[in-house]
Every structure is written in C-alpha cells, then in structure tokens.
Amino acid sequence: MSRDHGARRPLTPVAPGSSPARPAPDQALLNAGSTQTLVAGVDAAVRVAADAVRCARGPSTGPDPAHLERLVAAADLDAPLGGLDRALAELGPLYLDDAVWFHHPRYVAHLNCPVSVPAVAADVIASTVNSSMDTWDQSAGATMIERRLVRWTADRLGLGPRADGVFTSGGTASNLQALLLARDHTLTLCGETVGSPALHRLRVLTSADGHFSVVKAASLLGLGGDAVVSVPVDEHRRMDPEALSRALTRLRAEDLVPMAVVATAGTTDFGAIDPLDAIAGLCRAHGAWMHVDAAYGGGLLASPAYADRLRGTSAADSVTVDFHKTWFQPVASSVVVVRERRTLRHATYHADYLNPVDADPEEKPNQVDKSLQTTRRFDALKLWLTLRTTGADAIGAMFDTCIDLAAAAAAAYRSRPGVEVLLDPPLSTVVFRVRPVGVVDGALLDRANDGARDRLFASGEGAVAATRVDGRRWLKLTLLNPATTLADLEHVVGLLEQHADDVVAEASGAAREAS
C-alpha cells in the first residue's frame, strides 16, 4: 500500500567526521528553564503524528516483519542522533509508515478504537507532570480525580454507596485483581488463609466463551488453570443459567468451593452478554462472588439507546470496565470496581517508606492501598478530559452507532449468497465467513477464509479478525469506529470474497498438477 510522504521532513545527514549536537544538560530534562523546549518538542511530535494519520491510505500497509526487524536492528542505540527532529524523522520508516491505524474506517479487526482528541491532550499533560498514583504525596489532585471517576462509574453500575475501585492497565489486570479479592474473601469466610490446602478446593466458573484472562488469573493466583470450570453457552452464545446451576450443585457435592462466577458482558468474539440477573441469583444461592467482565460491554453505561442490555451489574460484587475499548480512550485505561470497599483490603500491603500501617487514609488517601501496582500512571485523566469536553451522552451515542452498524452489516452480509453470518450481533461484532461457490470441504473452506484474511491485510485495503467456532475458521468484524459505513463493510467483504476465490482456484490448480 503506497503512502504519501511528501509532507514529512527528510532526515538531515550528519557530516562525516562530525558529531551531532546534543541538547544542553539544562534542556535535556523538564524543568522551569526548559518549558519552551517541551512546547517545541511536543509540537513537533504532534505534527509528525498528525502527518502520519493524514497520510494513511488504509488501515495497514501489509508490512513485512523481517524487513521492519532489519530496519530497527540497524539503528545504533549507542549513537544518539543529536536532536529530536532527527529522531522523529527516523520514526517514519521504523514505525509510522507501517503502523496499523485503528482510526481508519476499514480497520474492523480487534477491540481497538479511534481515540478521543481530548484524551490525547490529557496524555500529554499526564506525561509532562508524571504523577505517580501510588501515594497522596506523589499525586494530590490526580488522586481525587481518579476517585471521583471510580465513584461515577460505580453509580452508573448501580453498585451502591459503599462501592470503590481503582484504575488498572486493562481488562486482564482488572479481572486478575477482582479474582484475587474473590479468592481472599472466600478464604476468609472459610476461616482459611492463602497458604492453606483449602486453596486447591476453590473453583471459578465462567462461560465457554469467557476471556482467557480468567484462566491466566487462576494460574497466577495459585489455583491452577484446572480450577476454571467452563460453563456451556446457549444458542445466543450466552452462559446457560441451567448449566451454571448444575455446575454449582456438582461442585458442592464434590466438596469443592465455588469461589467466583465470572459473567461476561460482551464476549470478545460475539459480543454476547450473559444473563446477569439469573447468574446473580445463582451466586447468592451458592455463596459465590459474582464478577462481571464488562471490558467490552461497559460502553453501554453511557448508551442512550441500549443501556438496558447491561441490566444486572448492580448485583455484582465486582465489575471490569475498559475505557480504552468502547469509551474511545487511548491505551491504557481500565477500572475494577467493587461493591464493598472493605474487600479492597485484600490488595493492601504496607511499606514504612510508602504507606505505613499507621497512616490515616482519610487524611492522606493512598491509592496504592487499593492497587496491585505501585508506580502507576495517571490514566484516569484521559477519561476526565473526555467527559468534561465531549460528555458521556456523546460517547454513548458513538458506541450506539457502532451497534446499529453491526446489525445492518449482518443483514447485508446475509443477503450475499457467498457469505454466511453466524448469529445476530448482540453488540458491535459480526462473526461470518465467506463461502466460495462449490466449496463444501471444511478444510478448504478454512483455508479460503484464512487466506482471504491474510491477503486483505497484506493489501492494506482492510483488516478483519479471525476466530474458531466448533473447530472451524470464521472471520469477525469488530466495529468500534462510528465513522465506518456500511459501504466500507460491503467493500471489505467483497475483497474477501475475491481473495477466497483466488485461494480456492490456486488450491484446485495445485491439486490438478499433483495428480
């Protein structure tokens, strides 16, 4: 995929035998005397980034990994270029020219979104001040902003006045912390400790389509991946409450402890939202912690049209929401919120130099008391500036546009004889596959879809994701860009059909030659 590089400044070569100029010590670091250097540097960086966005002709250039590896390896990290302008110019061939652009309307692959401009501005401020969110004496107002946003999110979730939480780096980290709290809460109720044999009786239940981070968390928490019980899904790819009830009853009969049930509000592949109310009732009946992984579906909290699809979070013990998915925030911005703030004590460790045990949390609120991380970036500022500039209703309306587009795309794809759609999209993903004429062999159909996806990406004309359903390859649109149109999606699927036909023709030709 070609790109227009005309607006980008060329790299100025260093004369042979000369040394590039280096910034003076008082200008190399941010201080009161180098603020003009900061302004010039940020301005230059923003212009280079904006130029790259403007020049992008597609979501990708189909870059060659070996070529990029050679370019990056050729950069001598022990020989600085001597100026930010030179280093920024070097980023063109190393990174920007072949970046994958989530803002492009034909990028419809993974859960990556175009980002809010106020959030980008917030990242500049957060990096400039460089607050560390562990203790009050390193963050001050940043602590209060994060706490206010946690409270605001908890209110939208309906978790009640005793709710609290903390920002994390993403859904995996949020799910890990929620399950750590569930583990220690459950052991405390049983009168056990983390090191006791009872640890190996704990079980976590989640749907067959739940996120892999649940298994990863179980392993990290010492439970082992086998501690995760997979619950079957129904025809809509939602956790089946009857199957969950049977699994919970079976665990009790086997003298195992259902530590937690992880309900998913927006599965990665299908966007399915588990029946939260029914799951909540079963959790209460069996004394299990209810965690809702709403990393994807959490955007419904701001939705003017579809917020009712998230009904049931108010019964949860903890909830994950990723703002860097359906809230249009730059990576990384996630939050884990709990119904009872006291349960956050299970993540608290004290250090005399940082948050001594005798410190008054009301006088000096330390966020490290709630977090698995110590040093932590002020990522809440992105959401704050977005809400204060754009507003939650506008954010929700953009997500609604993506949900509506998914429904329209599913209907349009079903009307094409060479495309098969798996199910009606609950959120903004469409799972489908192309079916070249005359292809009935499952392996060849898999090969056609895999090849079509790879060739589409290599062409730079579009980007879709892939998954497996019942052992067979399917493709997936993940729609998080309100600027994407149905025409874009028709164009993408038309290209996929052409590429799939080519793969089948090549395979047939190779088979004839072999015979």
Fold of 393-514: Aspartate Aminotransferase, domain 1 (3.90.1150)
User: Does the 25-99 domain belong in CATH 1.20.1650?
Assistant: yes
- Can you read off the two tokens belonging to residue 70? 């050679």
- Can you read off the two tokens belonging to residue 27? 């200008």
- At 186-231, the pLDDT tens digits run 999 999 888 888 899 999 999 999 999 999 999 999 998 899 999 9
Which listed CATH number (3.30.565.10, 3.50.30.60, 3.40.640.10, 3.40.50.12240) goes with 133-343+369-388? Answer: 3.40.640.10
Three-state SS for 101-119 is CCCCCCEECCCCCCCCHHH
User: Where along the chain do the CATH 3.90.1150.10 domains lie?
Assistant: 393-514
Please identify which residue in the block is written with the tokens 């649940």: 214
Share of the chain above pLDDT 70, in %: 95
- State mean pLDDT over 318-327: 98
Cα(287)–Cα(296) distance, rounded to whole angstroms?
A: 27
469 by DSSP, 3-state: which? Answer: strand
Tell me the DSSP string of 329-381.
PPS--EEEEES-GGGGGGG----TTTS-TT--TTTS--GGGT-S-SS---THH
Measured N-to-C along each axis, helices 241-253 and 276-286 cross at an angle, to the nearest 10 degrees, of 10
DSSP H or E run through 166: strand 164-168
pTM summary value: 0.94
Handedness of CA 390, 393, 397, 400 (dihedral sign): positive
- State mean pLDDT over 433-449: 95
Cα(338)–Cα(276) distance, rounded to whole angstroms?
A: 16
Asked if 329 contacts 337 with a C-beta cutoff of 8 angstroms, the reply is no
Cβ contacts of residue 476 below 8 Å, gap of 6+?
109, 269, 429, 430, 431, 432, 464, 465, 466, 467
The pLDDT of residue 193 is: 85
Asked if 367 contacts 143 with a C-beta cutoff of 8 angstroms, the reply is yes
Going by their DSSP bridges, the two strands 289-294 and 257-264 should be labelled as parallel
Cα(13)–Cα(20) distance, rounded to whole angstroms?
A: 10
The pLDDT of residue 11 is: 43
- State mean pLDDT over 458-462: 97
- Report how far Cα 111 is from the mean position of its chain's Cα atoms: 6
Question: Side-chain half-sphere of 288: how many Cα atoms within 13 Å?
Answer: 31
The pLDDT of residue 58 is: 96
User: Rounded to the nearest 5°, which phi and psi values hold at 228?
Assistant: -90, 120
DSSP H or E run through 147: helix 141-157
Residue 283 has pLDDT above 60, yes or no: yes
Residue 284 has pLDDT above 50, yes or no: yes
Radius of gyration of the chain (CA): 25
CB atoms under 10 Å from CB of 155, counted, come to 14
Residue 494 has pLDDT above 80, yes or no: yes
Asked if 87 contacts 96 with a C-beta cutoff of 8 angstroms, the reply is no
Cα(268)–Cα(274) distance, rounded to whole angstroms?
A: 12
- Can you read off the two tokens belonging to residue 42? 């940020």
Question: Side-chain half-sphere of 481: how many Cα atoms within 13 Å?
Answer: 23
Asked if 380 contacts 333 with a C-beta cutoff of 8 angstroms, the reply is yes
What is the torsion angle, in degrees rounded to the nearest 10, for the CA atoms of residue 502, residue 504, residue 510 and residue 514?
Answer: -170
- Per the prediction, the chain carries an average pLDDT of 94
- At 3-57, the pLDDT tens digits run 444 444 444 444 444 555 566 666 789 999 999 999 999 999 999 999 999 999 9
User: Where along the chain do the CATH 3.40.640.10 domains lie?
Assistant: 133-343+369-388
Asked if 326 contacts 298 with a C-beta cutoff of 8 angstroms, the reply is yes
Cα(30)–Cα(475) distance, rounded to whole angstroms?
A: 47
Give residue 361's pLDDT band: very low, low, confident or very high (50, 70, 90). confident
- Report how far Cα 318 is from the mean position of its chain's Cα atoms: 18
The pLDDT of residue 26 is: 67
Alpha-carbon separation of residue 163 from 154, 171, 187, 380, 458 (angstroms): 6, 19, 21, 18, 47
User: Rounded to the nearest 5°, which phi and psi values hold at 508?
Assistant: -65, -40
Asked if 146 contacts 167 with a C-beta cutoff of 8 angstroms, the reply is yes
Comparing CA positions, the residue from 341, 327, 343 lying closest to residue 384 is 327
- State mean pLDDT over 147-175: 98
Comparing CA positions, the residue from 305, 224, 211 lying closest to residue 262 is 211
Please identify which residue in the block is written with the tokens 């978790």: 159
Cβ contacts of residue 33 below 8 Å, gap of 6+?
26, 27
Cα(417)–Cα(437) distance, rounded to whole angstroms?
A: 9
Cα(264)–Cα(336) distance, rounded to whole angstroms?
A: 14
Cβ contacts of residue 116 below 8 Å, gap of 6+?
328, 329, 330, 382, 386, 389, 390, 395
Length of the chain: 515
- State mean pLDDT over 389-401: 98
Check residues 184 and 21 and name the one with the higher pLDDT.
Answer: 184
The pLDDT of residue 5 is: 41
- CA-angle at 228, arms to 225 and 234, nearest 5°: 135
Cα(265)–Cα(96) distance, rounded to whole angstroms?
A: 34
The pLDDT of residue 23 is: 63
